[in-house]
Protein backbone atom coordinates (compact mmCIF):
# COMPACT_ATOMS: atom_id res chain seq x y z
CA UNK A 1 0.00 0.00 0.00
CA UNK A 2 2.61 2.47 -0.99
CA UNK A 3 1.50 6.01 -1.71
CA UNK A 4 -1.45 7.84 -0.29
CA UNK A 5 -2.93 9.63 -3.28
CA UNK A 6 -4.17 6.90 -5.59
CA UNK A 7 -7.69 8.35 -5.66
CA UNK A 8 -6.72 11.63 -7.33
CA UNK A 9 -7.03 12.08 -11.06
CA UNK A 10 -5.40 14.71 -13.19
CA UNK A 11 -8.05 17.15 -14.38
CA UNK A 12 -8.18 18.21 -17.98
CA UNK A 13 -7.84 22.01 -18.18
CA UNK A 14 -10.41 22.19 -20.99
CA UNK A 15 -13.04 20.44 -18.85
CA UNK A 16 -12.27 22.72 -15.92
CA UNK A 17 -12.74 25.81 -18.15
CA UNK A 18 -15.98 24.38 -19.56
CA UNK A 19 -17.29 23.71 -16.07
CA UNK A 20 -16.44 27.23 -14.95
CA UNK A 21 -18.02 28.72 -18.06
CA UNK A 22 -21.30 26.81 -17.65
CA UNK A 23 -21.62 27.64 -13.96
CA UNK A 24 -20.92 31.34 -14.63
CA UNK A 25 -22.80 31.66 -17.91
CA UNK A 26 -25.20 34.29 -16.58
CA UNK A 27 -22.30 36.66 -16.00
CA UNK A 28 -21.30 36.65 -19.66
CA UNK A 29 -24.72 36.64 -21.35
CA UNK A 30 -25.55 39.51 -23.69
CA UNK A 31 -28.69 40.25 -25.63
CA UNK A 32 -27.86 40.15 -29.31
CA UNK A 33 -30.23 39.87 -32.26
CA UNK A 34 -29.48 36.15 -32.44
CA UNK A 35 -30.24 35.46 -28.77
CA UNK A 36 -33.38 37.59 -29.00
CA UNK A 37 -34.66 35.55 -31.97
CA UNK A 38 -33.91 32.25 -30.25
CA UNK A 39 -35.61 33.41 -27.04
CA UNK A 40 -38.65 34.64 -28.97
CA UNK A 41 -38.90 31.32 -30.81
CA UNK A 42 -38.72 29.19 -27.68
CA UNK A 43 -40.85 31.45 -25.47
CA UNK A 44 -43.64 32.40 -27.89
CA UNK A 45 -43.60 30.55 -31.23
CA UNK A 46 -43.17 26.97 -30.00
CA UNK A 47 -45.86 27.19 -27.26
CA UNK A 48 -48.21 28.89 -29.74
CA UNK A 49 -47.80 26.05 -32.24
CA UNK A 50 -48.30 23.40 -29.57
CA UNK A 51 -51.34 25.26 -28.23
CA UNK A 52 -52.85 25.57 -31.70
CA UNK A 53 -52.43 21.84 -32.36
CA UNK A 54 -53.91 21.02 -28.93
CA UNK A 55 -56.85 23.35 -29.56
CA UNK A 56 -57.59 21.89 -32.99
CA UNK A 57 -57.46 18.27 -31.80
CA UNK A 58 -59.24 18.77 -28.47
CA UNK A 59 -61.86 16.04 -28.09
CA UNK A 60 -61.12 14.56 -31.49
CA UNK A 61 -59.43 11.41 -30.21
CA UNK A 62 -60.82 9.16 -27.50
CA UNK A 63 -58.60 6.27 -26.49
CA UNK A 64 -60.79 4.86 -23.73
CA UNK A 65 -63.05 1.86 -24.27
CA UNK A 66 -61.86 1.20 -27.80
CA UNK A 67 -61.72 -2.27 -29.23
CA UNK A 68 -59.78 -3.66 -32.11
CA UNK A 69 -61.16 -2.32 -35.36
CA UNK A 70 -62.89 0.71 -33.79
CA UNK A 71 -62.01 4.12 -35.16
CA UNK A 72 -60.09 6.41 -32.76
CA UNK A 73 -61.61 9.58 -34.21
CA UNK A 74 -64.91 10.71 -32.82
CA UNK A 75 -65.80 12.92 -35.82
According to the model, what pLDDT value does residue 33 have?
97
Q: Distance (Å, rounded) from C-alpha 75 to C-alpha 64?
A: 15
The pLDDT tens digits for 8-21 are: 777 889 999 999 99
DSSP-assigned letters across all residues of the chain = ---S--S--PPPHHHHHHHHHHHTHHHH----HHHHHHHHIIIIIHHHHHHHHHHHTTTTB--TT--TT--SB--
According to the model, what pLDDT value does residue 74 have?
64
According to the model, what pLDDT value does residue 10 have?
78
Task: Answer for the pair 75, 59: CB distance below 8 angstroms, yes or no.
Answer: no
- pTM, entire model: 0.55
Residues written for the chain = 75
The pLDDT tens digits for 23-72 are: 999 998 999 999 999 999 999 999 999 999 999 988 777 667 777 777 76
According to the model, what pLDDT value does residue 60 have?
79
Amino acid sequence: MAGLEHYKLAQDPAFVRLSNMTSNRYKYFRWTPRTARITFAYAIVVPAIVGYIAYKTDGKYDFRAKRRGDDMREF
